[in-house]
Amino acid sequence: MNRARFLALLAALLLAWGLALPAAAHEVRPAFLEVTERADGKVDVLWKQPSIGLIAVALNPEISGGLLDRAPDGISAAENWEIRQWHGLNLKGSGLDGRVVRIAGLERTITDTLVIVHLKDGDDEQQVLTPAAPSFAINTHAGAAVSAYLFLGINHILTGIDHLLFVFGLLLLSSGYKQLLRTVTAFTVAHSITLALTALKLISVKPALIEAMVAYSILFLAVELVRKQQGKDGLTLRQPWLVAFGFGLLHGAAFAGALKEIGLPQHAIPQSLFLFNLGVEIGQLMFVTLAIAAIWLLKRFRWPPAAPRIAWTVASYAIGSFAMVWFLERLHVALDIV
């Protein structure tokens, strides 16, 4: 069997993963906790957690010493977010050093939380809390750090089943490793461009519409995969890097959605943006490497002659079905907003 047919067999694994995630695909957004130490020794806290409609994810921030035990001073809602704020919390002379920050309920989710602690001396501490590690102790001597954005970027791509399905479609569509390299490179360059432009607010996009177009890009690839199996030719099949670049611009704007909601530290915008983008590339490379490794493993098995064609057909139509559901859902949301 050739390389493309082996790749088709991998679709079952990826699609099984897709079934385990919500239909909205990239609703696995990180939560955000910002702790700001004021010059007067008091603390302001901002908490943003993902929500679907009026239902918020069951997460609650905690800071040892009972700092967040009282009711928040303000609760508001933004598109797909619930926001809570506390102002002027009294540290009672003990400071922030050594206090444990914990996100209760995070261990029961598949999302992460970016925590940024702004210290009164001007330094920042940043951490990414995960379901496996939902707490950390504040270290006021750690100094400024932006490395959390690297892990945020890796998580963002690896939990984005829609973006991974698009990359998987590119793998199937490409013929030969040279063409695959050109295609993945084009996708990388394109989404890096719009990620930077959108995150830096040099261009403005409608997030709901961009998410709908991301779903459409996957649907487009699914149709091209069917055409390829039928032996039909076209520019997409001859030069898949063009499709990868065009739709990569859309995916980059979607990547920027996470940064737009969380924000970039004003003292280290270039570094944080670079690390987030690098994290996305690392996560993408991990996925592609896993696919290649799976190909090697699949070559060790003997398959019935009809298996590759059946697998290709099932993969193409399954990817297209997922994409169609996402597209209609997201288009409905986009039209409601407009």
pLDDT in tens, 244-302: 999 999 999 888 876 766 666 666 678 778 888 898 899 999 998 888 788 677 767 77
199 within some domain: yes
Which of 145, 170, 205 is at the close of a domain?
Answer: 145
For residues 326 and 82, what is the distance between their CA atoms, to the nearest angstrom? 23
**Looking at the 3D structure of the chain, how many domains does it have?**
2
Which of 145, 172, 200 is at the close of a domain?
Answer: 145
Contact by Cβ (8 Å): 237, 227 = yes
150 within some domain: no
Which of 145, 169, 204 is at the close of a domain?
Answer: 145
- Residue 228's SS3 state is helix
152 within some domain: no
Least confident interval from 172-181, 264-273, 327-336: 264-273
- Residue 98's SS3 state is coil
Look up the domain containing 198 and give its range: 3-26+160-337
Helix (H) or strand (E) segment spanning residue 146? none
For residues 182 and 166, what is the distance between their CA atoms, to the nearest angstrom? 15
Q: How far apart are the first and last CA of the chain?
A: 49
Looking at the structure, do residues 224 and 314 belong to the same domain, yes or no? yes
**Token pair in block for residue 108:** 């029961």
Looking at the structure, do residues 210 and 139 belong to the same domain, yes or no? no
Looking at the structure, do residues 119 and 192 belong to the same domain, yes or no? no
Average pLDDT for residues 170-175, to the nearest whole number? 84
Looking at the structure, do residues 250 and 178 belong to the same domain, yes or no? yes
Angle at 212 between CA 165 and CA 238, to 5 degrees: 50
Contact by Cβ (8 Å): 236, 242 = yes
Tell me the per-residue pLDDT of 155-169, one tens digit each, with 9 for 90 and over. Answer: 888 878 888 889 888
Percent of the chain with pLDDT over 70: 81
Looking at the structure, do residues 189 and 126 belong to the same domain, yes or no? no
Residue 85 CB-density burial (10 A; 0-12 exposed, 13-18 middle, 19+ buried): middle
Q: Which amino acid is at 54?
A: L
Looking at the structure, do residues 40 and 19 belong to the same domain, yes or no? no
Looking at the structure, do residues 108 and 126 belong to the same domain, yes or no? yes
**Token pair in block for residue 96:** 């922030």
Looking at the structure, do residues 196 and 309 belong to the same domain, yes or no? yes
Looking at the structure, do residues 92 and 239 belong to the same domain, yes or no? no
300 within some domain: yes
Residue whose entry in the numeric block shows the structure tokens 């079905």 = 321
Looking at the structure, do residues 141 and 10 belong to the same domain, yes or no? no
pLDDT at site 315: 81
Looking at the structure, do residues 116 and 232 belong to the same domain, yes or no? no
Average pLDDT for residues 185-206, to the nearest whole number? 88
**Token pair in block for residue 76:** 């508001």
Looking at the structure, do residues 10 and 118 belong to the same domain, yes or no? no
Average pLDDT for residues 187-195, to the nearest whole number? 92
216 within some domain: yes
151 within some domain: no
Query: Rounded mean pLDDT of the chain?
Result: 80
Average pLDDT for residues 92-109, to the nearest whole number? 86
229 within some domain: yes
154 within some domain: no
- Residue 85's SS3 state is strand
